[in-house]
Chain A
Amino acid sequence: MEDVDIAPIATSAAAVVQLDEEAESTLDEPISVTLKRDLLMVFEKFFMVLIPRLNNKRILHDWDLWGPLILCVTLAMMLRDTARDDQKSLVFSGVFVIVWCGAAVVTLNSKLLGGTLSFFQSVCVLGYCLLPLVAGTLIIRTLALMSLASVPVRSVVVLLGLAWALFAYVTFGCIYV
């Protein structure tokens, strides 16, 4: 992950020295610092999706795939719990396939139509926009504990989450490709 941050400045001799110093510093730092920094980055992006503002575009330059991975795993685990007994592993792997292959296909499509985002930037945004849906599943689990999670209620929560996710995606400017 650190290489992504460092690479653009490794162009001149003077920068190489700086590069070495920076590389040393991020390689030598304790793991807790690295983790903290990465987690902060992930949570910052979570907040961008949760509270979509119209100036969210700067996320695009600092893509990371940890957030989407965390969200995908959480979603898969949640859906697996409520799936039929003979379909639990199918649902788990199905969620992964749909999320990642879906993101890849949509990204490819937008790139081939002349989009300006790089492949991973687009996958990053699509992955982060899963957050409202994951939040929806957590809400539904809470409701289920209180025996309130009937199918109509679940449908409403999911639809709201979907609308939220779509709105968040739009604020990243990705559709104006």
Chain B
Amino acid sequence: MSGNEARPASGTGHAFEFHDGAPVLTTRRLLKATHGTALWPHLSGSSDITGTLNTRTGRAGADDNDSLNGDGSFGFSDNVTLLREENAAQRNYGAPIWSLEYYAQFFNIETHVVRRRLVTALWPFGARMLDTLNSNPDLYGTEPSRHFDEGPIWISTTLVFAMAMAGNFSSYLASETAWQYDFEMVTFGATSVYGYVLVVPLLLWAALRWLIGNGRIAFTELVCLYGYSLSIFIPVALLSIFQVEWFRWLAVIIALFFSGGALLTNIWPLLRTHPHRISYGICAAMLLSHATLAIVFKLFFFEYNAAVGSSGNTPAPAPSHTPVPSPSP
């Protein structure tokens, strides 16, 4: 399999060539690239990359910790298979754009990356997510920041259902009369969460690209940032089942501090080089929309508490001591 192979016709096969000696070099890069990829999609049905590896150049990945373990020896044909799978990871994967395999190349997020993104999206101090996303290509092989991460999808979905469940449960606990669940919590939650996670990053991306001139940040990275930063509202929703008003607001404010702060410290480095007025305006709009979201969630899902004596979704007489106006017959 040595020798030159011509670049095949575009749209089919693999868009790389390899010459004498190149397989070895690329394999070494591949080993560093696939370090830790437990979720690599086995599209070609060929050998398992995360198994033991040894190349002609010697023991591989000895200094790379994590998942490359031990030694075994694969023949040269396995190097080719590994190369093919490495190439499958590159953006110019041969599959046509309408096939599922084309999109599988983006779905190779790893657990430790997810963990790191969660931390950087929720903790305003320390590492930045967009730094994480743009991390050293050598470590990951191909720009992991560009890789789609289905984390925001699952976090948003979990948030929708957690808020709907917690909101219904808390309205049940707060109800005095016959209670019926409110399905609108699911629909409103879904619309607002998915809308927020898609629309606000879109506006931010447009502002960054055309108002600031920073075209390097991808839309998907911002969606990733916003998706992970929303994850803090899941425990807030569950905690808000407690029928104590000030506790709920305290939880919301703390969540806002962390997620909003993390958003700010992630975006601010991108704005630093630009005239201040617009930068401050973008930051203010970002924080304002985030705060609005949190407050709307609190008011919609956790409108009632046992002290106020909720209606349980049906009109009920209000207790005399309540300062909050509630529908009363």
Contacts and interface: CB of A to CB of B under 8 A. Distances in A.
Interface of A: 82-84, 87, 90-91, 94, 98, 105, 109, 111-114, 151
A84 B182 contact: yes
Interface in B171-189: 172, 179-184, 186-187
Contacts of B100: 111-112
Contacts of B107: 109, 112-113
Nearest to B41: A114
Interface string B132-163: 00000000000000000010010001000000
17 contacts: A82-B180, A83-B180, A84-B180, A84-B181, A84-B182, A87-B182, A87-B183, A90-B184, A94-B183, A94-B186, A105-B157, A109-B150, A112-B100, A112-B106, A113-B41, A113-B107, A114-B42
B313 interface: yes
Nearest to B42: A114
Contacts of A84: 180-183, 313
A125 B39 CA distance: 23
Contacts of B183: 83-84, 87, 90-91, 94
User: Which among B150, B180, B183 has the highest number of chain A CB atoms within 10 Å?
Assistant: B183
Contacts of A83: 180-181, 183
Given A113-B41, A114-B41, A114-B43, 16 more contacts: A83-B183, A84-B313, A87-B182, A90-B183, A90-B184, A94-B187, A98-B186, A105-B153, A109-B150, A111-B104, A112-B41, A112-B104, A113-B39, A113-B107, A114-B104, A151-B179
Interface in B49-100: 100
User: Which among B40, B104, B181, B182 has the highest number of chain A CB atoms within 10 Å?
Assistant: B181
Contacts of B187: 90, 94
Interface string B275-315: 00000000000000000000000000000000000000100
A105 to B, nearest CB: 7
Contacts of A114: 39-43, 104
A133 to B, nearest CB: 15
Interface residues of B, number: 23
Nearest to A108: B100
B184 to A, nearest CB: 7
The 4 closest A-B pairs by CB, nearest first: A114-B41, A112-B107, A84-B180, A91-B183
Interface of B: 39-43, 100, 103-104, 106-107, 150, 153, 157, 172, 179-184, 186-187, 313
Nearest to B148: A112
Nearest to B173: A151
Contacts of B153: 105
Nearest to A102: B157
A151 B179 CA distance: 9
Nearest to A84: B180
A84 B315 CA distance: 13
A83 B187 CA distance: 14
Contact of A112 (B103, B172, B313): B103
A98 B183 CA distance: 12
Contacts of A98: 186
Contacts of B182: 84, 87
B114 to A, nearest CB: 13
B150 to A, nearest CB: 6
A82 B172 CA distance: 15
Contacts of A151: 172, 179
A111 B153 CA distance: 16
Nearest to A111: B100
A82 B106 CA distance: 43
A18 to B, nearest CB: 31
Contacts of B40: 114
A74 to B, nearest CB: 18
Contacts of B42: 114
A56 B40 CA distance: 27
Nearest to A151: B172
